Amino acid sequence: MQPTEFTLTDLVEIMRSCAGVDEGVDLAGDIGDTPFVELGYDSLAVLAFQARIQERTGVPMPDDTVTHMPTPNAAVEFVNRQIQAGVR
Amino acid sequence: MTSVATAVPATARRTGDARNAAVVTGMSAVTAIGVGLEEYWRNLLAGACGIRPITRFDTTGYPLRVAGEIPDFDSARVPSRLVVQTDRWTHFGLLAGELALAHAGVDPAELPEYELSVHTASGSGGNEFGQRELQALWAEGPSRVGVYQSIAWFYAATTGQLSIRHGMKGWSGVLVAEQAGGLDVVAQARRSLAQGSAVVLTGATEAALNPAAFTSQIAGGMLSPVGEYLPFDEAAGGYLPGEGGAMFVVEPAERAVARAARPYGVVAGHAATFDPAPGRGRPPGLRRAVETALADAGVAPSDVDVVFADAHGHPSADAAEARVLTEVFGPRGVPVTTTKAATGRLVAGSAALDVVTALLAMRDGVIPPMVNVRRPAFEIDLVLGRPRPAALRTALVLARGYPGFNAALVLRAAAQN
């Protein structure tokens, strides 16, 4: 059963479980518009998030998707746009 | 106390100069008999043995079910961001590195980053991580292989993660020479100081208690078939593997003096040799390594107060090492001990741990005993049963690695302030 919506909470859970959390970063805080790199996640970590997002939502996430998602909010918006456009 | 030269240009540094001797100023240990320097040392002196049933994987069907496993290692002591992207061996290395820097009183953030180096040895790499990802590949397909497989298995991963974590951007690297790498890397640290590094974090950890690594050790045919590790004993029948190791901080003596850091000992001499191919009729290279390392340190065999042996545990390997010890030092000519009967054989981790152990022995004037051995099979003076008090000025550490690596390292007590 594929979800009809992807939320920031879903993304934070993925971030936490597949890449851990840097010291001094609070993922429960207001991090939606903070760039991934400032949250301590390098490009490898963002690639890891993409693989898990694709697994969970069915939205294809080719490697160049990384350019569409500099921040958590941007990533959530991108995924939801793809879901609404029927790209699965 | 010697005068302190504070402005020697890096290019003028030479290893032969006492002011510029490479001294160890901080140490750590992560082993099956203790995580943390003093806990390990206390337990080693007390005769603790870390050989226990393996719990990290189901050993049903394996010919051997015991090893020097570190019980309940707390990976929460490593930043969570790093835990998920590194192998267990790197977890040990990250903790050991942090503890060693703290013990040395070195804060890398206060120092020029390009003068700080990391040199580790690794014989096994990230087997456990790699096995997990390969299982995912074959069972579920390429999309299930995590991105960190690209960096976690690789021998240089621990050096790289330590370098990133502590901002140590000077000349850094990894040496792969099985057990011997754990001594060779200390020589590499000394070279790094000669090239201008102010501080070198060095040593080795290993985590080879997973099916992939364990199976390769079984295939080597040298493991004890009965689960007992009794080096130099009449009942010796092979070795037992373990996990863990040690990291330590090396810096020029003048720098240690200038910042009033305690020098635990001097890296005085090193040599590495390689055995001739079987059937060539030439002897193995261990004796040449010992003699060359003693010459490098400028000491005679009679100056050596204790030997931390390779102590392989296979009868033929023990005989070869005992022969070298009696040839160089005379029958029962020097006290001989090992940490490996207590921790298991840790690939490069054991050699690094023996460096730390030798320095602790010098510090406290006591030689730790080797556990479990009861019936010595050779004319060498094994330290058995209980710790042996001794004034120790010079220690020799030996390591041999499959398939033919030999290394010898001479440590001397630092001149006291």
> What are the domain boundaries of chain B?
19-258, 269-412
Positive or negative: CA dihedral B87, B92, B95, B97: negative
Pairing between strand B405-412 and B265-274? antiparallel
Question: What CATH number is given to the structural domain containing A25?
Answer: 1.10.1200.10
Cα–Cα distance between B220 and B229 in angstroms, integer?
16
Cα–Cα distance between B32 and B302 in angstroms, integer?
34
Cα–Cα distance between B272 and A48 in angstroms, integer?
42
Q: How far is B274 from chain A (nearest CA, A)?
A: 40
Q: What is the mean pLDDT of residues A28-51?
A: 92
A23 — pLDDT class (breaks 50, 70, 90): confident
Asked if B83's CB is within 8 angstroms of A20's CB, the reply is yes
Asked if B79's CB is within 8 angstroms of A44's CB, the reply is no
pLDDT at residue B267, as a whole number: 98
DSSP character for B294?
Answer: H
CB neighbour list of residue B29: distance below 8 Å, 6 or more residues apart: B35, B36, B37, B40, B41, B96, B244, B245, B246, B353, B356, B357
Cβ B335 vs Cβ B369: under 8 Å: no
- Compare CB distances from B82 to A20, A44, A51 and report the shortest one's residue: A20
Q: In chain B, which residue's Cα lies nearest the Cα of A46?
A: B147
Tokens 């298995």 locate to B153
DSSP character for B167?
Answer: T
Q: Is B79 on the interface with A (CB under 8 A)?
A: yes
pLDDT at residue A68, as a whole number: 82
Asked if A51's CB is within 8 angstroms of B147's CB, the reply is yes
Positive or negative: CA dihedral B132, B185, B198, B259: positive
- Mutation target to probe the A interface, by most A beta carbons within 10 A, among B75, B78, B84, B98 is B84
SS3 label, residue B338:
coil
Q: Is B109 on the interface with A (CB under 8 A)?
A: no
φ and ψ at residue B263, rounded to 5 degrees: -90, 120
The architecture that CATH gives domain B19-258 is 3-Layer(aba) Sandwich (3.40)
Residues of chain B neighbouring A18 (CB-CB closer than 8 A) = 84, 146
pLDDT at residue B168, as a whole number: 98
Q: pLDDT 10s per residue in chain B (417 long)?
A: 333 333 333 433 344 567 789 999 999 999 999 999 999 999 999 999 999 999 999 999 999 999 999 998 998 899 988 999 999 999 999 999 999 999 999 999 999 999 999 999 999 999 999 999 999 999 999 888 999 999 999 999 999 999 999 999 999 999 999 999 999 999 999 999 999 999 999 999 999 999 999 999 999 999 999 999 999 999 999 999 999 999 999 999 999 999 999 999 999 999 999 999 988 999 999 999 999 999 999 999 999 999 999 999 999 999 999 999 999 999 999 999 999 999 999 999 999 999 999 999 999 999 999 999 999 999 999 999 999 999 999 999 999 999 999 999 999 998 754
pLDDT at residue A3, as a whole number: 85
- Compare CB distances from A19 to B81, B143, B150 and report the shortest one's residue: B81
DSSP character for B384?
Answer: B
Cα–Cα distance between B13 and A20 in angstroms, integer?
42
- Give me the numbers of helices (H) and strands (E) for chain B, helices first please: 13, 17
Residue A72 in domain: yes
φ and ψ at residue B214, rounded to 5 degrees: -65, -45
Tally of structural domains, chain A: 1
Strands (E), B275-352: 306-308, 335-337
Amino acid at B387: P
Alpha-carbon separation of residue B270 from A34, B327, B407 (angstroms) = 51, 19, 7
Cα–Cα distance between B260 and B344 in angstroms, integer?
36
Cα–Cα distance between B325 and B400 in angstroms, integer?
14
Buried b (16+ CB within 10 A) or exposed e, B292-328: bbbebbebebeebbbbbbbbbbbbebbebbbbbbbeb
Helical residues (DSSP H) of A1-88, grouped into ranges: 8-19, 43-57, 72-84
pLDDT at residue A66, as a whole number: 81
Helical residues (DSSP H) of B172-245, grouped into ranges: 181-194, 211-219
Owning domain of residue A44: 8-84
pLDDT of A76 strictly over 70: yes
pLDDT at residue A65, as a whole number: 83
Q: Is A37 on the interface with B (CB under 8 A)?
A: no
* Both structure tokens of B120: 């580790």
Cα–Cα distance between B53 and B48 in angstroms, integer?
15
Residues of chain A neighbouring B148 (CB-CB closer than 8 A) = 44, 48
* Both structure tokens of B209: 């208690």
**What topology does CATH give the domain B269-412?**
Peroxisomal Thiolase; Chain A, domain 1 (3.40.47)
Q: Is A48 on the interface with B (CB under 8 A)?
A: yes
User: Cβ of B204: how many Cβ atoms within 10 Å?
Assistant: 37
Residue A60 in domain: yes
Q: At how many degrees (to 10) do helices A72-84 and A43-57 cross?
A: 30
* Both structure tokens of B272: 């590495």
Q: How far is B194 from chain A (nearest CA, A)?
A: 35
* Both structure tokens of B16: 């032969």
Query: What count of residues does chain B have?
Result: 417
pLDDT at residue B17, as a whole number: 65
